[in-house]
Structure 1
Amino acid sequence: MSTARGHGDEGEEVAAAHAVFFPFPAQGHVAAALHLARLLHVHHGARVTFVHSERNRRRILRSRGPAALAGAPGFRFAAVPDGLPPSSDEDAEDDHSPEHIAALLAFIDASVPHLRAVLDSAAASGAPATCVVSDIASVLRASGQELMGVPAVAFWTTGACGLWSNMLCQQLIEKGLVPLKGNEQLRNGYLDTVVDWAPGMPRDMRLRDFVSFVRTTDADDGMLRAVMGIMDTLRTAPSALILNTFDELEAQVLAAMRPILPPIYTVGPLPLLAAEQQAPLATLSASLSKEDGGCLAWLGRKPPRSVVYANFGSIAVLTTHQLREFAWGLARSGHDFLLVVRNDQAKDDACGGGGPAAAAEGRGYVASWCPQAEVLRHEAVGAFLTHCGWNSVLEGVCSGVPLLCWPFAADQQTNCRFACTEWRVGVEVAADVDSTEVAELVREVMAGERGREMRQRAAEWKEKAAAAAALRGGSAWVNLHRLVNQVFRRHRGMTLDTGVILSTTTMDKSTQRLD
């Protein structure tokens, strides 16, 4: 059991924290949470229990092997049931099927009892949890005996602009902008309506730049209603809110948010802080899919800034037409490209033989998944075609790589707006993908005047991100220290029966139960 101790803001000695991480079981959420968990353990001596869904645990073992979940003294993994049966090829499962979505929603609804079992195991081991870190709303709402009195901390894995965009949905409804009056407003220019009254947002913010949930004609839309419920939870339930961003990048948005939310700790950019990881935790991974390391060798044979990297994330599903247009647009741009096409994203044979593999012949490399942070840091990469998920945007900013933005859903529209017009490191690709436009934009970003300006701005933001992540002195490290000393203090809970799967390498076997 760890005996590491630190000092609080007034100089008092503070016992080492024990943070239980329980992220929403999707790739981007899990990866960001693991970055933060490792930092707290390595640099602040915090004990960590990191909780996966059982399906994700199996996927990590399949894609990375046992070392990815081996843990270390004071850092262990747990897995809780999710209702999804084992599959012979979980990397190719349809995560968007009604059955999978129904099981995921049921898992979220039932998450508190599962988490309580993890907390009981921690208490039984003699190291009771001091806080729970999660972005699952039901967990954040739980209090008192539900979580043994352990305070909940929200780690929200979007940027500040994406979170604020969600929070403003209620005002958009109150002002009559949402819901839409009919489907024609999706096409007739209504979404270009300027929203110039939103605090913290640009004065020329358009309705289309808000989260995609506002694009509904249903006054009782289930997703929009759920989003507003989650935002209410964030205002009142957690004892603190952690964001993977840095103050200079989103200063105006953060200033607007702080008066109405719990204390906010900006601890980003996590991609740069995570690069400081040392053994043994450097072997841990949250990648749910097997990465194709051959792409790095392929990049190594290319000149500096000559390759376009294209990846649409772990969730977006493209139509056959969209995938074909992107692939052939990249091929016809005249530049080499690395294209990621997930196993569950689209099938090459569905493109009639004219899909990504055909487009890549002689000029491109197609992978089913890749080590994105390493790819973006590679000197051969000159631009990043992205769906604008926050992790991807932030990794692009940290790497100084210009962005070609094709937002798919959720907060990605807002991230795209800020990347293109506020930070000026990106250019937007039309939603109705056309290979000719893709080729022209690639050429412009890679070799045109606008591309040179974007690259200069990207280099400036890269320097600012590096300053925020500077070891010990950067704002992220200062905020991490404050977070540990002000939030993650030791808390004693009660002991309950447990029923979770725990890593056999990192905890006393007397407190384990392996099913």
Structure 2
Amino acid sequence: MDIPHVVIIPFPAEGHIKPMLMLAELLSRAGFTISFVNTEQSHHLLLDGAGIHRRCPGINFLSIPDGLPPDHPRSGASILDLLISTSTACKPIFKDLIASMSHAPTCVIADGIMSFAIDVAVELGIPAIAFRTYSATSTWTYFHLEKLIEEGVIPVVSGTESEELERQVRCIPGLEKILRRRDLPSICRLDPHNQVLQFFINQASKMRNASALILNTFDSLEAPFISRLHSIFPTVYAIGPLRSPAPHDSPSLLQIDRSCIQWLDSQPSRSVLYVSFGSIAVLTRDELLEFWHGLVNSEIPFLWAIRPDLVRDDNGSGTVPFDLKTERGRTVGWAPQEEILAHDAVGGFLTHCGWNSILESVWAGKPMICRPLVAEQQVNGRCVSEVWGLGLDMNCLCDRSIVEKVARALMEGEKERMLRSTAEIARYARDSISEGGASYKNFNK
């Protein structure tokens, strides 16, 4: 019998490539032939900096252009250009690539926002599976964007009175008593006709053409919304939390700086607050200053991962505008996050609530301070604080006094209660991917 050949295509961003590459590694180890298709920019970054061929010798890495000029930044605010460009430029090139393969694909696994690949698979008679790199709850929310427009919830006006932002959203089944207007995805602040909002509505619609849905989550965390997604997809595989076979050597599009580990080794157990806002989101200079002063004023030791393009200046891009020095804290570039979260010195995580970060914090058993910034992070943060009890909510306008107060609350006042909750969920996560666990069984299916 021919060895199955699976073509996997992620959206070209760190938070999308990482979980889909972990799936590719697992499938490769299970004996499948894997073709992993990146855009040219991501392909070169991955091959240049991650030793990817050494890590994944059984995976064939291919690339296609994304339709943007080589010098386009493809991050921060410019990520919107990448969304639109991939959806229009990549389909014919990807179709030609599939047609040219000497070993015909058995299946295509496409990122949920690269649904042109689902279209190509359907046109060529190849089974297509969607992989949504969001949580089940956020995925369910995105399938109700049109309903939110119909009900007049979109656009959420961020400058309105706090009472308006606190109003509960009652038109998404299962979330009537959970989500406030402020907890809806950031795109819900846009006009209903906005190109970006319409992009996500369109992608959700096209996802329905897939024969199944893969989610990087687990039943013990999100069973109600995994179940609800069965009303859209005949088959849903919850196979998370996906873990790299070598998590301390995870591939990255950014250069990883491990210099902070020695500093962590010198800190007391559970004393350090780790801070990171992920690989895409940006802060203004004023926002960075408020976080910085709040952390310093809290007198909690902290480790802050500040990537080179974290700060947005008036021209739309920028770097950290001043020298950040304090006896209490330390800054580092793009950090080995899984290794940091697993470190005994780390007692909590101030996070932007990207889904990979939440799962990594869950796995490590570390409670979170939730400061969502973009995309689905608002939904994730609300679930962390109000549904799963794994952290504190800071989804509001944040000044230094709020940052100081919440940092102390997590690391001192709420510490023991939070650690009990996170330890329990961490155990469920491990059980899920262990032999006989729900995610283990779903992966085998």
Alignment correspondent of 2:241: 269
Matched ranges for 1:31-50 at <5 A: 31-42=18-29, 44-50=30-36
2:116 to 134, 138, 155: 138
Contact 2:158–2:165, Cα closer than 8 Å, also in 1: no
Q: State the distance in 2 between where 1:47 and 1:19 align.
A: 6
Residue 340 of structure 1 and its aligned partner are, at CA, apart by 1.0
Residue 212 of structure 1 and its aligned partner are, at CA, apart by 2.0
Q: State the distance in 2 between where 1:413 and 1:289 align.
A: 25
CA shift in 2, pair 1:144/1:221, >3 Å: closer
Contact 1:244–1:268, Cα closer than 8 Å, also in 2: yes
RCO greater where, 1 or 2, for CA within 8 Å and sep 6 or more?
Answer: 1
Contact 1:201–1:252, Cα closer than 8 Å, also in 2: no
Residue 86 of structure 1 and its aligned partner are, at CA, apart by 4.7
Contact 2:185–2:374, Cα closer than 8 Å, also in 1: yes
Q: State the distance in 2 between where 1:306 and 1:168 align.
A: 41
Q: Which has the larger radius of gyration?
A: 1
Q: Establish whether residue 224 from structure 1 lines up as the match of residue 187 from structure 2.
A: no
Residue 208 of structure 1 and its aligned partner are, at CA, apart by 2.0
Q: State the distance in 1 between where 2:37 and 2:381 align.
A: 31
SS in 2 for 1:259: coil
Q: State the distance in 2 between where 1:47 and 1:379 align.
A: 39
Q: State the distance in 2 between where 1:352 and 1:133 align.
A: 41
Q: State the distance in 1 between where 2:248 and 2:416 align.
A: 37
TM-score between the two structures when normalised by the length of structure 2: 0.91
Alignment correspondent of 1:503: none
Matched ranges for 1:348-367 at <5 A: 353=322, 357-358=324-325, 361-367=326-332
Residue 69 of structure 1 and its aligned partner are, at CA, apart by 3.5
Q: State the distance in 1 between where 2:23 and 2:57 align.
A: 17
Residue 350 of structure 1 and its aligned partner are, at CA, apart by 7.2
Number of aligned residues: 439
Deviates more, 1:15-24 or 1:32-41: 15-24
TM-score between the two structures when normalised by the length of structure 1: 0.80
Q: State the distance in 1 between where 2:258 and 2:389 align.
A: 31
Alignment correspondent of 1:172: 148
Alignment correspondent of 1:332: 297
Alignment correspondent of 1:292: 257
Contact 1:68–1:283, Cα closer than 8 Å, also in 2: no
SS in 1 for 2:338: helix
What stretches of structure 2 of length at least 5 have no aligned partner?
A: none
One-letter code aligned to 1:112: K
Matched ranges for 1:74-473 at <5 A: 74-86=58-70, 93=73, 95-96=75-76, 101-102=80-81, 105-122=84-101, 124=102, 127-135=103-111, 136-145=114-123, 148-180=124-156, 184=159, 186-196=160-170, 198-201=172-175, 203-216=177-190, 218-235=191-208, 237-271=209-243, 274=244, 277=245, 285-346=250-311, 353=322, 357-358=324-325, 361-448=326-413, 450-470=414-434, 472-473=435-436
Map Cα deviations across residues 442-496 of structure 1 (whole Å, 9 max, x no partner).
1111111x232111101110011111011x32211110110xxxxxxxxxxxxxx
Contact 1:69–1:285, Cα closer than 8 Å, also in 2: no
Map Cα deviations across residues 17-46 of structure 1 (whole Å, 9 max, x no partner).
21111100011000010011111111x211
Residue 287 of structure 1 and its aligned partner are, at CA, apart by 0.5
Residue 284 of structure 1 and its aligned partner are, at CA, apart by 7.5
CA shift in 2, pair 1:233/1:264, >3 Å: same
SS in 1 for 2:149: helix
What stretches of structure 1 of length at least 5 have no aligned partner?
A: 1-13, 483-515
Identity of aligned residues (%): 35
CA shift in 2, pair 1:72/1:36, >3 Å: closer
Deviates more, 1:15-24 or 1:419-428: 15-24
One-letter code aligned to 1:63: G
Q: Establish whether residue 17 from structure 1 lines up as the match of residue 1 from structure 2.
A: no
CA shift in 2, pair 1:143/1:207, >3 Å: same
Contact 2:141–2:172, Cα closer than 8 Å, also in 1: no
Contact 1:54–1:80, Cα closer than 8 Å, also in 2: yes
Residue 116 of structure 1 and its aligned partner are, at CA, apart by 2.6
One-letter code aligned to 1:214: C
Contact 2:178–2:386, Cα closer than 8 Å, also in 1: no
